[in-house]
Structure formats: C-alpha cells, structure tokens
Structure 1
C-alpha cells in the first residue's frame, strides 16, 4: 500500500535554548524533517512517520498513540503534541494537559492516501493484549 502524508512539526525555541539542539530533538523522532526558521520557533516538514512508528513499537505505547491520534483526528488527518524534553532523548512522550515550560512539539499530519484511519493503523496498529494485531495473517 502507498502512504502519502505531509507532517508539519512546530517547536518553540526560547532565548535560553540553542536552535540546533531543538532541531536535533525533533530529528530524533522525525529524521527526514526539513526545517524553516521562523522567529521564535522552528517549523519542519516530513513525508514519513516510519521512524516515529518504530519508536512507538519499541516503547510499547501503541494504544496510547492511537488514543492521542484519534482524539485529534478528522477526515483530513490528525494532530498530537510531544514533550520536547523527552524528544531530546529520542523518547516519545505525548503532551497532555498544561504545556511544558519550554513548550511542546506540535505535529499536524495531513493524510492524502489512503485514508486517516488506515494510516493511523499503519503507524500505530491496534493491539491485543499489548501485541500488534496483524490483519494480513
């Protein structure tokens, strides 16, 4: 199956932070991201969430990811926020509740093909007893 998406990643950069380090934090989870610099933030775009999906599997947080994705999904795509501090360490930690002091990383995914639900199933498959369900077998 062909997956075609655009993901926009926005992270605030405070005066106390080094822009390159914030970029590194985002690249830890989205290695193919390309950045534009805007005053006070970095804005990146990528067309793949493969590494992000691998980390979700490694951290065994597929159910959490699915909840976050579907909570903020519509016919066009879905969005979620991540803790910037965790991203520095290459760890996915969804931001819920109050924003972090240094700001959260906001990700907006537009799904062009196939459809939003199918793409979410690809990135964070449903699980049964914590193990991804394989619909193909």
Structure 2
C-alpha cells in the first residue's frame, strides 16, 4: 500500500503550517515529507509505503463520529487500485477531519489530497478498516487490523 498526501503551498502560507495540517491528521515521519514544485504551484507532499500514516485518521474518524460520511467520500474516489479523497486544509490545521467534494473551490486555501494505492490489500478491506459501515452509530463488519 502506498499512502500519498499532498497539500498546495500558497504564497501567503507558511510551509510549517501546511505541514502541520497534514501531520495533524496523518502519522507521517518528517523524512517522508518534502516540498515540491509542480508547474507554477508548490506543494508539501508526504509519501509512505505502508498504511501506518492512516492510523491517526482512523482514530479521528471515530472520535468525531463521522464514519458514515467518511466512507461515502472515500468510496466516491474508489477505482480498481486506488482511492482519492479531499480534506479541508483549514480544518486539518485545527486537527479536525472535514471532507471536500473537490480539490479546489470548497476549501479556500485548497484541499489536502489523499491518495491510497492498494497493492497487497483489497479496497474493501482498507475501507472496512478505515471507515466501516455503521448501524445505530456502531461499526459493523469492522476490520480490526490492516495486514498489508
């Protein structure tokens, strides 16, 4: 599994604050993150070749009690070998998870773009671990450990 998280770095933003937005929601090590350019834009990009950065996000989804909404947004971006979803950068800076439908437009400073590539895991296994279905607010058919 490869987890990539990217946030645009606007000219008015501090690179440290943009990195903090990512690290508030994901367990990346500093060495897994770098500043990069793409055309005229700059980004902070964090990449890990395991699901370990997702543990913090998984816990926040449960604390905020937004598993059903999270599952819906994550499923929308699901393809055969990956999923892509967007998070509000300002909410992330405050340590809160707030999903966006699009990369631009909803979050004034741009969204945090999350891409999860499934190599040794099935998409459903990852989804049932990260954001399982719920009944009366309680997770059902939850995968306890991510073994890939």
Quote the residue 2:94 is aligned against: 89
- Structure 2: where are the runs of 5+ without partners? 144-148
Quote the residue 2:136 is aligned against: 129
- If asked which structure has higher relative contact order (CA below 8 Å, sep 6+), I would say 1
Q: Give, in angstroms, the shift of residue 65 of structure 1.
A: 0.8
Give the alignment's Cα RMSD to 1 decimal: 1.5
d(CA) in 2 for partners of 1:9 and 1:43? 6
Is 2:47 the partner of 1:45?
yes
Is 2:106 the partner of 1:109?
no
CA deviation map 1:36-77 (0-9, x unaligned): 211311111133211100000110000011101111101102
Give the structure-1-normalised TM-score: 0.89
d(CA) in 2 for partners of 1:102 and 1:66? 24
State how many pairs are aligned: 132
CA deviation map 1:15-48 (0-9, x unaligned): 1110011101100001225212113111111332
Q: Do the aligned partners of 2:88 and 2:107 also contact (CA within 8 Å) in 1? A: yes
